[in-house]
Amino acid sequence: MEKTIITMSSITYAMKAKEYLNSMGYRCDVERTRKNIGSGCGYSIIIRVHPDLVTPLLDRAGIPYKGIYRL
Amino acid sequence: MEKKNTVNFDNSAGTHPKPESVRQAVAYAMRELGGNPGRGGHQLSMAAAERIYAVRKSAAEFFGAEIENAAFTPNCTYALNMAIKGLMQFGGHIIISGWEHNSASRPVYALTRNNGVKCSVCEIYPDDVQRTIEGIRRLIRRDTLCVCCMAASNVTGRIMPYREIGELCRQRGIAFVCDCAQAAGVLPVSIKDGISFICTSGQKGLYGPTGTGLLISSGEFALSTIIEGGTGATSGELTQTPHMPEKLESGTLNTAGLIGLGAGIDFVKKHGIGNIRRHEQSLCKMFEDGLKKLGAEVYDIGCDRVPIVAFNLKGRTSEETASALNKGGFALRGGMHCAALAHESLGTGRRGAVRFSPSAFNSAGQVSKLLRYIGNSLTDFTPDQ
């Protein structure tokens, strides 16, 4: 299954996004942003659904993210 | 041996003893959470980061804030410096109360000396909230950026009209920085009270370890940073990350201390702010009544106060009294309590005062012993039998 990686501006927002999406029924994890997609250090959430399903939820919750990558 | 038997009535400086849950949490963190939170992707780092996040969430909820607006600091002084200087370092006008701790008044004084900041000091009238608010309203100028007032005095415990000040600031679009070091854990202070920045220590009414503090923001005012450095995010850039809370948390966090702070906040939540305050107030009432019978001078009687009693004994300086009480096995603090402005406002600028501040762990029996000791050893008065 395809993976979506959403890069976050901080580990706090990554944890907050994980908690929120988990509460909405989307299982996801926090991991260190992979070197090939991020600039410098940072954290991402990794989730096995299409980004169109979850980014509107993050927008509505006011949780900012930096980028969306599909693997 | 003497230290072991000392009863702590100086809990306004730091609660001791700590709840068992706090001691266990710190030990657990030292044993299991050695990774640097937010500084790596390995299991040790992520485990620590998850626990830190849980403490952040608990602290944010406790003060009615969003999680990202709860920043950890080494103590309340750092939090106040970060808030005051973060708002005022490019100039402007600030209003502070005449009761502020040096942790607020000194950074403001430094800003007036070095950054062209203008400062006005407002009066706090104990029995007249309206007069206090009107006084602050009159001091507000076009360039006023901030009002800084503590929620409760660290000298006498006097509760300041922080909700009304918050409302005034909200109406005028001015930031309200509130030193909640003596209020957190005994008053239900919240960002929802109109406070823009709650600054507090962790080791007092929140029962956390020393070396912990909080800067809780409403999110309405952005702070310039006064400390920059590693935050674990956007490391490839020279500019400080703009995102809260990491923006204000440069450098490695005090993991063990913060895990202990989380347990302390849980302790307060479990027992309830109202119950803790009622218990401590009953001890203060008992002590205050006893002091009056012994002819002591007690300050701010009749004011609504957090659980603190400030007093002096006749013919003794506050330091002499505190020293004599220490010999008797009682830890109370004499002197100026790092609050020269407050002692000036109180009229105790020369002598200072002795401060009695109980915690959830003190008992009526301990207060009785203290009063007996004062009556037998430190006064010429014959206490009522």
- On whether residue B384 sits in a domain, the answer given is no
Confidence band for B4, pLDDT divided at 50, 70 and 90 = low
Lookup result for tokens 């309206």: B130
Q: Over chain B, what is the mean pLDDT?
A: 95
Confidence band for B334, pLDDT divided at 50, 70 and 90 = very high
Say if residue B383's pLDDT is above 60: no
Say if residue A2's pLDDT is above 90: no
Q: Are residues B264 and B139 in the same domain?
A: yes
Q: Are residues B220 and B289 in the same domain?
A: no
* Mean pLDDT (whole number) for B118-127: 94
Query: Hey, are the CB atoms on A13 and B68 less than 8 Å from each other?
Result: yes
Beta carbons of B215 and B177 less than 8 angstroms apart:
no
- On whether residue B56 sits in a domain, the answer given is yes
Cis before A64? omega within 30 = no
Sequence-separated (6 or more) residues with CB below 8 Å from residue B385: none
Q: Are residues B138 and B179 in the same domain?
A: yes
d(CA B361, CA B341): 31
Last residue of a domain, one of B243, B270, B297: B270
Supply the pLDDT for residue B384: 45
- Print burial letters for B227-258: b (CB count within 10 Å at least 16), e (below 16): eeebbbbbeeeeebbebbbbbbbbeebbbbbb
If one counts the domains in chain B, the total is: 2
Residues of A in contact with B68 (CB under 8 A): 10, 12-13, 16
Last residue of a domain, one of B220, B249, B270: B270
Range of the domain at B249: 20-270
Which domain CATH number covers A48?
Answer: 3.30.70
Query: Hey, are the CB atoms on A12 and B41 less than 8 Å from each other?
Result: no
d(CA B111, CA B100): 15
Range of the domain at A62: 4-70
Q: Are residues B224 and B241 in the same domain?
A: yes
Say if residue B1's pLDDT is above 80: no
If one counts the domains in chain A, the total is: 1
Say if residue B259's pLDDT is above 80: yes
Residues of A in contact with B231 (CB under 8 A): 10
Which domain CATH number covers B9?
Answer: 3.90.1150.10
ipTM of the complex: 0.92
Residue B373, Cβ neighbours under 10 Å: how many? 16
Q: Are residues B336 and B210 in the same domain?
A: no
Query: Hey, are the CB atoms on B53 and A12 less than 8 Å from each other?
Result: yes
Q: Are residues B229 and B294 in the same domain?
A: no
- On whether residue B320 sits in a domain, the answer given is yes
Q: Are residues B235 and B336 in the same domain?
A: no
Residue of B nearest to A31 (CA): B41
Q: Are residues B54 and B89 in the same domain?
A: yes
User: Token pair for residue B228?
Assistant: 């920059």
d(CA A33, CA A38): 6
Q: Are residues B184 and B322 in the same domain?
A: no
B155 DSSP 8-state letter: T
pLDDT digit string, tens, across residues A11-30: 999 999 999 999 999 999 99
For an interface test with B, give the residue of A8, A13, A15, A46 to mutate (most B CBs within 10 A): A15
pLDDT digit string, tens, across residues B199-250: 999 999 999 999 999 999 999 999 999 999 999 888 888 999 999 999 999 9
Say if residue B349's pLDDT is above 70: yes
| Distance (Å) from the alpha carbon of B210 to chain A's nearest alpha carbon | 24
d(CA B145, CA B87): 7
Query: Hey, are the CB atoms on A9 and B56 less than 8 Å from each other?
Result: no
| Distance (Å) from the alpha carbon of B175 to chain A's nearest alpha carbon | 23
Give residues 16 to 55 of A whose Cβ lies within 8 Å of B.
16, 30-32, 39-43
**Three-state SS across B294-337?**
CCCEECCCCCCECCCEEEECCCCCHHHHHHHHHHCCEECECCCC
Query: Hey, are the CB atoms on A12 and B68 less than 8 Å from each other?
Result: yes
- On whether residue B132 sits in a domain, the answer given is yes
Nearest CA among B336, B340, B334, B283 for reference residue B313: B334
Give the CA distances from residue B53 to residues A23, A42, B17, B56, B71, in Å, rounded to whole numbers and listed in that order: 16, 16, 26, 5, 11
Which domain CATH number covers B213?
Answer: 3.40.640.10
Q: Are residues B112 and B148 in the same domain?
A: yes
- On whether residue B58 sits in a domain, the answer given is yes
Establish if B216 touches chain A: CB-CB under 8 angstroms. Answer: no
Query: Hey, are the CB atoms on A12 and B234 less than 8 Å from each other?
Result: no
Q: How far is CA B290 from the centre of its chain?
A: 27
Ramachandran bin of B223, using left for φ above 0, alpha for ψ from -120 to 50, beta for the remaining angles: beta
Q: A with B: how many residue pairs have Cβ under 8 Å apart? A: 63
Beta carbons of B234 and B178 less than 8 angstroms apart:
no
Q: Which of A12, A30, A31 minimises the CB distance to B246?
A: A12
d(CA B45, CA A42): 13
Q: Are residues B40 and B169 in the same domain?
A: yes
Q: Are residues B11 and B25 in the same domain?
A: no
B377 DSSP 8-state letter: I
Backbone angles phi, psi at B200, to 5 degrees: -150, 160
d(CA B246, CA B215): 12
Establish if A10 touches chain B: CB-CB under 8 angstroms. Answer: yes
Last residue of a domain, one of B255, B270, B285: B270
Residues of B in contact with A64 (CB under 8 A): 243
Residue of A nearest to B50 (CA): A15
Residues of A in contact with B233 (CB under 8 A): 9-11, 40-43
